[in-house]
Amino acid sequence: MNYQIDVTDRAAEALESAARWWPEHRSLAQAEQWYDGFVKAILTLDQAPERCPLARESHKFPFEVRQLVYGLGRKRTHRAVFTIHEETVIVLTIRHLAQRDLELGDLP
């Protein structure tokens, strides 16, 4: 089954913000590699998104919240937090792994 991918404005803004951090603290080449790779990883959610584990804070929500963890090389740094509704994967936000857990009020 192919799922449709819906990236919320909040998630798109968080992804762009994280991508802007990379050239300032690492390099432009790493920023491009990280951004392109993360987008490609998110797009793979169109196939079997339930392969990704429940997010650590999923129990706080009235629906399942899953996460796709991503980083360059072996160093995982960020996660795409998403839910599955019927035939659509809704990417709710992008979070650094060090950020606090999501609360219900953090999502629109």
| 54 occurs within a structural domain | yes
Whether the pLDDT of residue 9 is over 90: the answer is yes
| Residue 22's CATH number | 3.30.2310.20
- The reply to whether 108 falls in a domain is no
Could you tell me the pTM of the whole model?
0.93
73 — pLDDT class (breaks 50, 70, 90): confident
Q: How many CB atoms lie within 10 A of CB 54?
A: 12
Does residue 104 fall inside a structural domain? no
For residue 6, pLDDT beyond 80? yes
Is 13 contained in some domain?
A: yes
Q: How far apart are CA 94 and CA 107, in angstroms?
A: 11
Is residue 105 one of the residues assigned to a domain?
no
Q: What is the pLDDT of residue 70?
A: 97
Evaluate whether residue 22 is within a structural domain.
yes
**Across 81-87, average pLDDT:** 97
CA distance to 21, 26, 50, 87, 93, per residue, from 44 (Å): 24, 26, 11, 14, 16
Domain assignment present for 107: no
Please tell me the total count of domains within the chain. 1
Instruction: Give the residue numbers spanning the domain of 59.
Output: 4-99
Whether residue 66 is contained in a domain is answered as yes
